[in-house]
Structure formats: C-alpha cells, structure tokens
Structure 1
C-alpha cells in the first residue's frame, strides 16, 4: 500500500478580486510530495510559483481544491516549516548566531526550553554554521558578511528548529554564479544529512535539476502544472554533473516546455 504523501494539492486554484477585477493566479494544480523529497517548481515569471508556496504553508487559503499536509487538511498556517527567501533579511543589530537562533524564540517546544538550555542551542547553532562553512562567524554581524555568507546564514536560520518542510523561494537568485553554485552543493549536503522535505522555487533550471528529485513546470498565468519531470541522476551531484549529457538533456527539456508557454 503506497504511503500517504507529506504534502498534497488536489485541483487547487487561487483567484484574487471579484467580477471584472477577478484574476486567477493558480489554476487546478495537483501536486504530490513524498516525505523527504526535494521538489523544484519552475516556470515563467508571474506564473504563481511563490503563490504555490503560500498555499502549501497555509498563509493563503485556496479558492477551490484541497491542500493537505501530513494527511490533515490545511486550514491555516502550518507548523514544522522553515522558510528562506532571496533577501536574507538578517537583523543588523543581532549577531549571526543570534539571527540564526531567532526561530527558537518563537517556535515551540524550543521557545519553552531556550532559557534553561541556551548552551545546548548555541552549540546547535554553531554546529549548523560550521556545516555551511561559517564556523567561527557566529559573533559577526550581518554587515560583516558577504552576500553568500548572509544567504548561508539565512538557510541556517530556516533549519535551526529542525523543520519537516523547508520552503526555498529563490534563495540564491541575487548571488553571483560562482557563489550560487557553491551554495547548491551546501544545500544538497544539508538535505542528504537531514532529509527534510524541500520545495524550491527558482528561475534557474540548472539549479532545479542539480537539487531536485522532481521538477514541476508551471504554465503562464493562470499557473497550471504542465510537466512533471523526475530527475533520476545519482547523488551526490557535483558541478561536473552539470556538464554531463544526461543533465544537459533534462535542462533543455524543461527549457523547451517553458518556451512553449511564451510562444502560446
């Protein structure tokens, strides 16, 4: 008997406004994400990729259709989620370590344990920093870090409370190509070690194929799922992998499907 998906969307649509002002942002989307799966969502600008993330996390209610997480229908913001965005949004007056520990101050059961077990949590934060190459930077402030280092800190903050689901909304989009590719490797390693469920929204098809088990291609607005592509490349993937014919073929296949959307 197949296991229940961790995240499931059944014929989900979202529309804004009323009457002549009504705009359908997402149309009839059906997605199934297994526990521990890494999923990427790609498509033209404005197709509803980020809207999809808000629906999954319960920040927006769907106009129609059903969303379930862990077998329970989503009716409001869900627990056990970490989020990382394109802008690192680190608080400039807090050290890197204190920025990373911020979710522990608001998420139970950590919120109730933090004061009495602070040394344990500091050690956890420092270990997480070390795992992304930022060992020894816990006492630095955001303005003392490069853009890539800030984004690594952003990912650490999203993972510090050990969420079951990690939502990544173009987290590497503002970085230069070399830094971005370096962070692909770091993100893959974190996933291999922790096996959280990840949903990545990205415009970068190479990034999607490098990181994901499954890539969903969305149409132009109203966003629909027009292609589901399994990435059956062995892990761990490396930058050398991105030059192999198998990798390049998948990227071209995805690009051709998105170009069809622009042509229609």
Structure 2
C-alpha cells in the first residue's frame, strides 16, 4: 500500500529564527485509504501538522510529500472540515456545498456547463449524511449538527483524495457527536477517501481510526503509533467493550506523561 502522506524529519518554527518551534523532527506516514487520528496535549502541534499537510505552511527543514509530490504550495487534492462549519449565511445549503467547485481549478472550468451533474452529486452527498431535502435551506435554518453534516458534504464535493478533519465535532452535544461519528465512518467506507483526524476526544479517535499517532508537548513529535485492533464496520456498542476502554485509557496515560515531560 502506497503512502499518500509522508512527513519526514520536519521542523516548523513560527516567527523567524528565534520564534516558537512548533514541531521538531516530526515523522508520520499515512497510507492511501487509511483513517488516521492525531492526538496529544494542547499546543503539541496538531494544527501545525494540518497546515503542513495542506501546504498552508512550508517547513524550515524536512520534507512533506502528498500523493508523491513535495508540498511547496497549497494542495488541491485535499478537502477540509473544521470545528466551525463557517457556512456563508446568504447561500443555501446546496450553494454552500458547491462552493469548492468554484475554486478548485479542474472543476471550476466545468461547473457552468455541467452544473446539473454537480447538483446531483451534492444531493447524493446530502442524502448520505441524512440531509435529503435540506439543500434549499439556509445555514441559519439548520442545527449545529446539521451544519456540520453539510460541512462534510462541502469537503467531499470536489472528490478529494485526502480529507483533513480538525476537531470537527468538538462543539456538538454527545448524542449528535456520536451520530456524526457514524456518518464519517460510513463515508470513509463508501468512498475510500484517506482521512486524517485531529482530535482531543480519545473515544472518537479509537472508534474511527485505523491508526493513532500520539504527539508530544511542544515542540511536537510523534511519540507513539498505535494500530487499532477493531474490525470494521464498527458499531457504537464497541465503546462499552473492555478492550476499547483499555485502549482509551492507555492513550490517556501516554498523553498525561507527555504533558508531565514537557
């Protein structure tokens, strides 16, 4: 299986030579089709990792390689979803989902001539995430959980090879969060997209991921990599099993030790 994302011996410092060293000697590999999660103490460089992979930051030393190419500029094969859905209030849900197609070059030139095709694709995504019939609604007519579902559709509409999720469910209540875990689980299974999830929620990481990277305190580096032993598809009942909670507890201990060692 080929690596879709490879981070090799990366240092990233903010604010010039005397500035803050965010990550140091960072090494990480994610295979095509994998679901990877990144956890660690606050300030460990999880968001910096996201920016490195997407090309929003270029490291001072080391290499970031995505889909076989050195990252030297923003990466077009990436879809992103954040904790705040940031939907444009004057556009309908469907229009918000179609927004990336106006930006991504290979779709921008086709959008006008093939708009019906793209609208159908957006409607299909809405149905997958349980929002069938909500395309005409404005963001203020949707709950927070519904907006995040639409946000996932927007991140996937341009058929990215890599989906980056930065605490996408953190602002939601526990029941809605678990519902969306199942949505993203099913999207991953159906589309085979590679996913990197940054999260503070260890249950979320263990439930969703194929492997989990544990990062140190700043400057961030990978302290451990764990392969999840749970077969897919996974049901929420898994979270009540002893082996699941033992994994969560072990990760918690590693992160606690990383904080003490800082």
Q: TM-score, normalised by structure 2?
A: 0.97
Task: Give unpaired runs (5+ residues) of structure 2.
Answer: none
Counterpart pick for 1:4 among 2, 5, 11: 2
Other-structure match for 1:16: 14
Other-structure match for 2:138: 141
Moved over 3 A (4+): none
Task: Give unpaired runs (5+ residues) of structure 1.
Answer: none
Other-structure match for 2:89: 92
In the aligned structure 1, how far is the partner of 2:11 from the partner of 2:41? 18
In the aligned structure 1, how far is the partner of 2:119 from the partner of 2:14? 43
SS of equivalent residue, structure 1 residue 33: strand
Shifted more, 112-121 versus 167-176: the winner is: 112-121
Pairwise CA distance, 1:17: 2.4
Pairwise CA distance, 1:70: 1.7
- Number of aligned residues: 261
Other-structure match for 1:263: 260
Residue correspondence of structure 1 range 46-61 to structure 2 within 5 A:
46-61=43-58
Is 1:31 the counterpart of 2:21? The answer is: no
Please tell me whether the aligned partners of residues 6 and 35 of structure 1 are also in contact (alpha carbons under 8 angstroms).
yes
In the aligned structure 1, how far is the partner of 2:183 from the partner of 2:54? 24
CA shift digits 1:43-81 (9 cap, x unpaired):
011111010010011110101111111222111111211
Other-structure match for 1:174: 171
Other-structure match for 1:156: 153
CA shift digits 1:152-179 (9 cap, x unpaired):
0001000001100000000001001110
In the aligned structure 1, how far is the partner of 2:9 from the partner of 2:16? 21
RMSD: 1.0
Q: TM-score, normalised by structure 1?
A: 0.97
Counterpart pick for 2:201 among 200, 204, 207: 204
